[in-house]
Amino acid sequence: MYAEGGVYADIDVEALRPIKRFVPERYWDSLSEIDMVVGIEIDQPEFRDHPILGSKCMSFCQWTFMCKPRLPVMLNLVENIMTWLISLAAQQQVHLSELHLDFDEVISGTGPSAFTIALLKEMNRISHSPKEITWDNFHAMDESKVVSRVLVLDVEAFAAGQGHSDSGNHNARGALVKHHYHASNWPSKHPRYAHPVYGEVERCNWDLACVQKWDRDVEAYKSLSIEEQNKLKEERRMELEKLREQQLKEQEQAIRLEQFGEAVRKAEEEQRRREELEREMKERMRVEDQALKPLHPEQAGAEEKKEGEELIMFGGRPVPGQGQDMGANGEGEQKKVVEQQPVFGQPMLQNDEPFGGL
């Protein structure tokens, strides 16, 4: 992003709106005054003093952002991360390639926390205001703003649907992307801190009452004897086993339901095919029966031309003649008699005017 600029998004980010929507229309005439577009991710400053949540409770979103090339803030971010990684490798006494990071170290050292610190520092460096720019400038934002050539979008833009920070949902008009948090497995390679009895505080998802209870339980745990702590651990272990068994049963039930649903769908499809074949067979039989059905005598007579009757073409259509006329000598004499019938769209022919006088 430093070398080329452009739009960055994690591989598990889905676009909900076109990229041009990243910049609200009211800024289109002043794009030359914007170097970077970022959004809010976590806006929970009430946890700033928490020993675990404090370093990540106020941050800009790093899984999606946009910037111009060669921005000093991006180069400073790279340099800060490299300095921190080298220092941490020295502490662990390992080569940089063998460095081990837990979840919080990733977030604070290379992730959104480091990203946010670098951005705030750069904003203050180029700001002409005597007042320091802090997270207070971005807390509870209800619309985007430009600060020190950085366009900052509200939390709904890049981080909707988190369940905290008043982030709204992905159906909102202002939601631009959807982050599928569990699509990648890097968190499983970098575990969070988990208390042996009360687990991870992040499970509270920034709910204040839940976090406060977690803190009280952890503090109370420290005052217990070893025997009491072991008892709580055993109870927790049994709870986890029951939970795993329940989850396994639910998974098996889901699989059975899916298999049953597939079997029902196949049976319904097979039934539809049988009904279709049956309809086709009935139709063929009806046509064949109609073709082989014997004619009744009156129908047969209607199909045959009566003896002595001739068909005379008149007006483009066959018209039956008058049949036989007996002469004076008693012998049958054939006579053609044509009834005067008007041809469609033409006048009646007159005897003294052959062809209508033409």
Per-residue confidence band for 356, with pLDDT thresholds at 50, 70 and 90: very low
Residue 190 pLDDT: 81
Per-residue confidence band for 259, with pLDDT thresholds at 50, 70 and 90: confident
Report the distance separating Cα 194 and Cα 202, nearest Å.
9
Report the distance separating Cα 10 and Cα 244, nearest Å.
31
Q: Where are the domains of the chain?
A: 6-192
Does residue 335 register a pLDDT over 60? no
Residue 54 pLDDT: 95
Average pLDDT, the chain: 85
Does residue 331 register a pLDDT over 90? no
Segment 159-202, tens digit of pLDDT: 999 999 999 999 999 999 999 987 677 777 788 889 999 999 99
Least-confidence region, from 48-52, 174-178, 206-210, 251-255: 251-255
- Beta bridge mates, 235: none
Does residue 234 register a pLDDT over 80? yes
Residue 320 pLDDT: 52
The residue with greater pLDDT, 74 or 246, is 74
Segment 128-144, tens digit of pLDDT: 999 999 999 999 999 99
Helix (H, G, I), strand (E, B) or coil at 163: coil
Query: Average pLDDT, stretch 284-304?
Result: 66
Residue 35 sits at φ, ψ, to 5 deg, of -100, -20
- Beta bridge mates, 304: none
Residue 72 pLDDT: 97
Query: Average pLDDT, stretch 100-110?
Result: 89
Tokens 């196949």, residue? 266
Pairing of strands 13-15, 58-60: unpaired
Please report the sign of the dihedral spanned by the C-alpha atoms of residue 70, residue 73, residue 75, residue 78: negative
Residues 6+ apart with CB under 8 A from 77: 114, 115, 118
Per-residue confidence band for 318, with pLDDT thresholds at 50, 70 and 90: low
Does residue 281 register a pLDDT over 50? yes
Segment 7-56, tens digit of pLDDT: 999 999 999 999 999 999 999 999 999 999 999 999 999 999 999 999 99
The residue with greater pLDDT, 54 or 331, is 54
pTM: 0.68
Query: Average pLDDT, stretch 311-319?
Result: 49
The letter for the amino acid at 269 is E
Report the distance separating Cα 256 and Cα 254, nearest Å.
5
The residue with greater pLDDT, 182 or 210, is 210
Does residue 324 register a pLDDT over 80? no
Token couple for 17: 């709106």
Per-residue confidence band for 350, with pLDDT thresholds at 50, 70 and 90: low
Q: Which helix (H) or strand (E) holds 177?
A: strand 177-179
Segment 59-95, tens digit of pLDDT: 999 999 999 999 999 999 999 999 999 999 999 999 9
Per-residue confidence band for 276, with pLDDT thresholds at 50, 70 and 90: confident
The residue with greater pLDDT, 40 or 256, is 40
Longest dimension (CA), the chain: 146
Residues 6+ apart with CB under 8 A from 306: 323
Q: What angle do CA 5, 38, 208 make, to 5 degrees?
A: 145
